[in-house]
Amino acid sequence: MEERLQKVLAKAGLGSRRQMEEWIREGRVEVDGKRAELGQKVSENQRIRVDGRRIHLKPSGGAIPEVIVYHKPLGEVCSRDDPEGRPTVFHNLPRPRQGRWISVGRLDINTSGLLLFTTDGELAHRLMHPSREIEREYAVRLLGEVDMPMLERLVEGVELEDGVARFAAIEESGGSGANRWFHVILKEGRNREVRRLWESQGVRVSRLTRVRYGPVILERKLRKGKSRPLLAEEMKRLYEAAGMEVPVIVAPVPEQRRRQAARRPSRGGARKRR
């Protein structure tokens, strides 16, 4: 059966589908000795090379995809190799059984928290695609005065340089005066979007941590710089959130106690935790 080239390469674990599309545009991919074209369909018996290296496609039903959650500390970048020599998130990851790790989204160097990595390029593509509206939840410490009209504007939407952006939910979570904590939810992954939204209202983010991506929550016991594989039930929920068939469920896993996600404020307001 033939499939689009970028999807085949993503399924082979080379990267997300979006990244594979960029490689094809850049001329890094060849099919049967000819430069590949974006959208080209290929089959498993064709000769595919990336940067001159032959890619051996696995027939469907091969290795089981892997997904891990990583607790990113401050100071690490999300690229595989940094020209400035800064530590990268990939240095602390375990070696996958097959393929290579693909990052599901990114966090900037000054943001800590949950990162997902997978060997399934199609899963990564779907989890990051705006059409899926996968929720990302962040804990934010702010410097500056925050009032109800400001929260309402941030939920209704404000104009940024790359278009209108908004929080799907805001919940106050502690602090007082000009140093307060909030939990916020986004349904997209634009560059520095959380920081830019707050800065548009004249307040500054002094600490930012991602605590949830879709159904996967950052556990307190997962230390910074450490990772763990997803449990079978977590894998099931993640694939369902991506609208994909679950590859395998190894065994039933007792439901873990999950921290309640931020509630959506009525009429754009914020609800204070009790």
Name the residues annotated as catalytic. Answer: 108
Q: Both tokens of residue 234?
A: 């977590």
Exposed, middle or buried: residue 266 (CB in 10 Å: 0-12, 13-18, 19+)? exposed
Please name every residue paired with 176 in a beta bridge, in sequence order, or none if there are none: 179
Evaluate whether 9 touches 50 at the Cβ level (below 8 Å): yes
Evaluate whether 138 touches 186 at the Cβ level (below 8 Å): yes
Exposed, middle or buried: residue 28 (CB in 10 Å: 0-12, 13-18, 19+)? middle
Exposed, middle or buried: residue 261 (CB in 10 Å: 0-12, 13-18, 19+)? middle
Residue 241 has phi, psi (to 5 degrees) of: -65, -35
Angle in degrees, CA 128, 133, 136, rounded to 5: 70
Cβ neighbours around 254 below 10 Å, total: 7
Q: What separation in angstroms does the CA of 225 have from each of 51, 75, 76, 87, 106?
A: 32, 11, 9, 11, 15
As a whole number of angstroms, the distance between CA 238 and CA 135 comes to 12
As a whole number of angstroms, the distance between CA 139 and CA 83 comes to 30
